[in-house]
């Protein structure tokens, strides 16, 4: 298989976003597969980023999951940039993060907050807490 056909970080991020939305809607992989005329194994491979999702399939998923296509790419640019930075610093392979169910719940709850100023305030609070708990932050 040529390198261009292998799933990339963005494929893994899109797959993860499919999983988040499916879980948010309380759908099983089998039920989502039925809605998309896929097997649950195909859904599983898409969610894990093992198989790339075509543009047409992504459109179908967005329709079935009730989200705009842009939903699947939210935050992807930041992750790709931070991954590239880590690669340059560490010269190691980096992959899409594996997020816990607690993290996914936090993201889902955060996305339900419609007030932009409240979202900014919460994000600033979380960033401050993370920085305060980072060992290197005490040296600054």
Each residue's pLDDT tens digit, 23-82? 999 999 999 999 999 999 999 999 998 899 999 999 999 999 999 998 888 877 776 666
Domain of residue 124 covers: 100-140
Q: What is the pLDDT of residue 61?
A: 96
Q: Are residues 90 and 104 in the same domain?
A: no
Q: Within this chain, do residues 47 and 60 fall inside the same structural domain, yes or no? A: yes
Q: How far apart are CA 18 and CA 133, in angstroms?
A: 31
Dihedral sign of CA atoms 133, 16, 59, 79 in order: positive
Reduce the DSSP state of residue 68 to 3 states and report it.
Answer: coil
CATH code of 45's domain: 1.10.260.40
Q: Report the number of distinct structural domains present in the chain.
A: 2
Per-residue pLDDT tens over the stretch 17-30: 999 999 999 999 99
pTM of the shown model: 0.59
In this structure, are residues 56 and 45 in contact, taking their beta carbons and an 8 Å threshold?
no
Helix runs in 8-115, H state only: 9-24, 29-36, 40-48, 55-65, 76-90, 101-111
Do both 79 and 117 map to the same domain?
A: no
Cα 15 to Cα 35: distance, rounded to the nearest angstrom: 17
If asked whether residues 112 and 71 sit together in one domain, one would say no
- Shared domain for 93 and 111, answered yes or no, is no
Same domain, 82 and 14: yes
């Amino acid at each position: 298989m040529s390198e261009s056909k292998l799933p990339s970080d963005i494929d893994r991020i899109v797959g993860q976003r499919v999983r988040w939305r499916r879980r948010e809607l309380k759908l099983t992989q089998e039920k989502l597969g039925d809605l998309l005329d896929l097997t649950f194994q195909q859904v599983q491979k898409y969610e894990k980023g093992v198989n790339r999702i075509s543009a047409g399939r992504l459109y179908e998923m967005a329709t079935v999951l009730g989200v705009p296509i842009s939903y699947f790419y939210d935050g992807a640019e930041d992750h790709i940039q931070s991954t590239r930075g880590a690669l340059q610093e560490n010269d190691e392979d980096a992959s899409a993060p594996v997020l816990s169910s607690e993290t996914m719940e936090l993201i889902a709850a955060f996305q339900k907050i419609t007030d932009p100023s409240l979202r900014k305030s919460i994000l600033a609070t979380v960033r401050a807490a993370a920085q305060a708990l980072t060992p290197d932050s005490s040296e600054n």
